[in-house]
Amino acid sequence: MGVNGIMSKIIILGATGSLGRHVVQQAVAAKHDVSVLTRSLPVAPAEIPEGVVVHQGDLTTMSTSALAAIFRNHEVVINAAGNVAQGKVFVELVDHIVASLELIPEAERPVCWFLAGLGLLDIDGRGRKGVDLPTIGQTYWPHRSNFDRIRKTNLDWRILCPGPMVDERPLGLTRLRISLDRLPLEIPDEIQSVPDSSALRFLSSHMSELVVPYQDAAALMLTNIARDGEMSHHRVGLARPPEGYTR
């Protein structure tokens, strides 16, 4: 069964992507009732496990009302579609998804997971984020735009903000450092007063700790799908265990 023995109706967007396929596999293994939305039926049947309901349609061109009708029949929506490198197109995609969810009566809206990156997490107590640093902001600004859109809604949202993700054996959630709204690192107090260039060096020097397996990222989302859970209305970061950690 799913979390705490409860099976949920989950729809996954971007289900054949690098992260999405792991979400699908784990959701099926946990006995959730899983659906996906895809533009075309998968070439290889293994891409979508047996028993998964496939809704065929183009996420970018479907009307908000058509999307809302699909989303309304689910308890959880996990969006792994889109890429920050798409810039404005990515922002428009997330806005389209959010607008569709907003058409659903508030009491019937599903729990929603969105995907961003570590640049959306706070670096210090002043709320400075990676996307506030010029070098990062030039590329990852869509994450800020999407966050601004999502947090203005009444959705039960949470945003996964990982660093680079890789196809490696999972470390397991009990070993990962998991944070809400800020970097999942030991951040020195003096970081608040350093210039952006020094904050960027701090991030760069710890990047290896922020590389996480896709399987762990997928597991984190699926383990936290309860309505009004502890991650509700938060940006969520994750990092490898500190060097020398042996648990």
Q: In this predicted structure, what is the pLDDT of residue 45?
A: 53
Residue ranges covered by each domain of the chain = 3-239
Calpha distance 33→38 (Å, rounded): 17
Q: In this predicted structure, what is the pLDDT of residue 80?
A: 96
Q: In this predicted structure, what is the pLDDT of residue 246?
A: 45
pLDDT tens string, the chain, 247 residues long: the values are 454 556 799 999 999 899 999 999 999 999 999 999 988 765 555 667 888 999 989 999 999 999 999 999 999 999 999 999 999 999 999 999 999 999 999 999 999 999 999 999 999 888 999 999 988 999 999 999 999 999 999 999 999 999 999 999 999 999 999 999 999 998 888 888 889 899 899 999 999 999 999 999 999 999 999 999 999 999 999 999 986 444 5
Find the helix or strand (DSSP H, E) in which 199 lies.
Answer: helix 196-205
Give the rounded distance of the alpha carbon of 122 from its chain centre: 16
Q: In this predicted structure, what is the pLDDT of residue 244?
A: 46
Please give the structure tokens belonging to residue 25. 């596999």
Q: In this predicted structure, what is the pLDDT of residue 108?
A: 95
| Residue 77, phi then psi, degrees to nearest 5 | -115, 125
Q: Residues 6 or more apart from 205 whose CB is under 8 A from it?
A: none
- Would strands 165-166 and 212-213 be described as parallel, antiparallel, or unpaired? parallel
Q: Residues 6 or more apart from 113 whose CB is under 8 A from it?
A: 76, 77, 78, 79, 157, 158, 159, 160, 221, 225
Please give the structure tokens belonging to residue 83. 């890429």
Q: In this predicted structure, what is the pLDDT of residue 42?
A: 57
Nearest C-alpha neighbor of 224 from the set 107, 123, 114: 114
What is the domain class of 3-239 according to CATH?
alpha beta
